[in-house]
Amino acid sequence: MAAQSDYVIVGAGSAGCALAYRLTEAGRTVTLIEYGGSDFGIFIQMPGALSYPMSMPRYDWGFSTAPEQHLGGRRLVTPRGKVLGGSSSINGMVFVRGNRKDFDHWERAGATGWGYAHVLPYFRRMETWHGGRSPWRGTGGPLHVTRGKRRNPLFNAFIEAGQQAGWPRNEDYNGPYQEGFGPMEATIWKGRRWSAANAYLRPARKSGRLTVIRALAHRVVFEDNRACGVEIEAAGRTSIVRAGSEVILSASSINTPKLLMLSGIGPADHLRDHGIAVRADRPGVGANLQDHLEIYMQYKSLKPVSLYTYYNLLGKSRVGVEWLLQKTGLGASNQFESCGFIRSDDAVDYPDIQYHFLPLAVRYDGKAAAQGHGFQAHVGPMRSKSRGTVRLTSPDPGLSPEIHFNYMSHEDDWKEFRACVRLTRRIFDQPAFAEYRGDEIQPGADVQSDDQIDAFIREHAESAYHPCGTARLGAADDPDAVVDPELRVIGVQGLRVADSSVFPRITNGNLNAPSIMTGEKAADHILGRQMMADDLAALEAAE
């Protein structure tokens, strides 16, 4: 039996690292269980190499979906970080808080104390923003948030085209308003990926109050109805890591529901089917699974200004050498340096489409590039109504769960994606792109009708790698909620969840920032502190 700490956290990812840091900062002892290994290495630390780690078994759990019925039976990859820093060590480093109305929706859905006024102080506490001074932004947090230099003319062409198409320019989509086109922000600092491991885990280790154990978590251990530890397997041996106060699961929206179910917390019939004794019948465990889908709208470039110049062995070597020697150059950027958030229709309350612009026509995983200079926009709807599930395939902790997003199962998803295609064409047809815009590579100029666009989506839509929602926040008397507003698992004691599993509904944008915020806020709940809240009217008046 391993030595006892005050708290045991499962998962050294975005939320888990932030939580471990804040608990040790408060003088508590923490044991952090992580199955993955070191994040040291060029493929993780160099921002420009982002396409590599998410497809490397050393760093990625290697999950994929069940055949998705509405996407032609395709199995889509679902990368999750199996490494210190979790998915913050293999993601695209894009920093998006989400829209303020996302969090107000959470609160209306039963997540009391999780409205925008309550989460904004934690967003500010966690960041050091390098974009100037703003009452909406933080300047003293562990997480550095920066912007690319936008030296490639295509970045600014995209922002200008968005304005020409009728949307505003927005200098800070993480500030008071999200809608518009402008610079994209990233968790990059001094040319390095500034993951949760770099921002939070390394400082926490220096405190002497954090123990990191590399092991596979099997299940939560209980005495009576109170969580008292975690059963782990390391080097072929099974043991129990004990918690003096509480156990917190921060293992991702895939592995957290899996661990809950292996521990007897979940849909009773499903647990019994796998021979697992039911400790708490919570049908919401593994339900409510959500994600962002996206397509790549690609164009040939009439001028040789794209990153295709470097998309060869010699070019990549030059980029890598410059980064290794100086932490500068193309390797110091994730190349997502401009973006947009728009509404698909004027009747929509707030932005429901997101753009990542890239000055290269290539797949996100780097496996296929257009033959020649080009550029693309990653585009997709933000608030899909489709819901999926994570379910056990076996009571064996070493086996992956079944992941079924049920993508595109709601008719509104198709309408929103068609709008994405047509609105993107409108943007690229603006004068700002006249000197660069060649033929449309995909979907292709001949893809025009609803049926043709739907066929393209069915064949080419890919996950943006933003799974969430499988242990959702809600009122303690909500039968479908898994955790209460203080992140305590309903039906047991001494167990909480702090990661993207708890999101009632997916937020607008990439999920790393709200996941870290969840870890920050969870720490104050656990420590019994007065929760922070902002006077939004005063902030607006200060603008």
DSSP state of 89: G
The radius of gyration of the chain from alpha carbons, rounded to an integer in Å, stands at 22
Give the predicted TM-score (pTM) of the model: 0.97
SS3 for 144-213 is EEEECCCCCHHHHHHHHHHHHCCCCECCCCCCCCCCEEEECEECEECCEECCHHHHHHHHHHHCCCEEEE
How far is residue 420's CA from residue 443's CA, in Å, rounded to a whole number?
12
Asked if 321 and 339 touch (Cβ cutoff 8 Å), the reply is: no
Q: For 144-181, how does the pLDDT look when each residue is reduced to its tens digit (9 = 90+)? A: 999 999 999 999 999 999 999 999 999 999 999 999 99
Q: One digit per residue, pLDDT tens: the chain, 543 residues? A: 556 899 999 999 999 999 999 999 999 999 999 999 999 999 999 999 999 999 899 999 999 999 999 999 999 999 999 999 999 999 999 999 999 999 999 999 999 999 999 999 999 999 999 999 999 999 999 999 999 999 999 999 999 999 999 999 999 999 999 999 999 999 999 999 999 999 999 999 999 999 999 999 999 999 999 999 999 999 999 999 999 999 999 999 999 999 999 999 999 999 999 999 999 999 999 999 999 999 999 999 999 999 999 888 899 999 999 999 999 999 999 999 999 999 999 999 999 999 999 999 987 666 656 678 999 999 999 999 999 999 999 999 999 999 999 999 999 999 999 999 999 999 999 999 999 999 999 999 999 999 999 999 999 999 999 999 999 999 999 999 999 999 999 999 999 999 999 999 999 999 999 999 999 999 999 999 999 999 998 888 877
How far is residue 71's CA from residue 55's CA, in Å, rounded to a whole number?
22
CA distances to 100, 102, 112, 169 from 131, rounded to whole Å, are 20, 24, 32, 16
How far is residue 361's CA from residue 313's CA, in Å, rounded to a whole number?
17
Burial, 404: exposed, middle or buried (Cβ in 10 Å; 0-12, 13-18, 19+)? Answer: middle
Query: CATH class for domain 149-183+293-381+408-460?
Result: alpha beta
DSSP state of 433: G
Q: State residue 349's pLDDT score.
A: 94
DSSP state of 507: -
Burial, 400: exposed, middle or buried (Cβ in 10 Å; 0-12, 13-18, 19+)? Answer: middle
Burial, 313: exposed, middle or buried (Cβ in 10 Å; 0-12, 13-18, 19+)? Answer: exposed
CATH architecture of 1-70+79-147+185-289+466-543: 3-Layer(bba) Sandwich (3.50)
Looking at the chain, which residues constitute the CATH 3.30.410.40 domain(s)?
A: 149-183+293-381+408-460
How far is residue 263's CA from residue 313's CA, in Å, rounded to a whole number?
48
- CB-based contacts of 476: which residues, under 8 Å, 6+ apart? 484, 490
Q: Which of 70, 292, 356, 466 is catalytic?
A: 466
Angle between helices 411-428 and 450-460 (to 10 degrees): 100
Looking at the chain, which residues constitute the CATH 3.50.50.60 domain(s)?
A: 1-70+79-147+185-289+466-543
Catalytic site residue 274? no
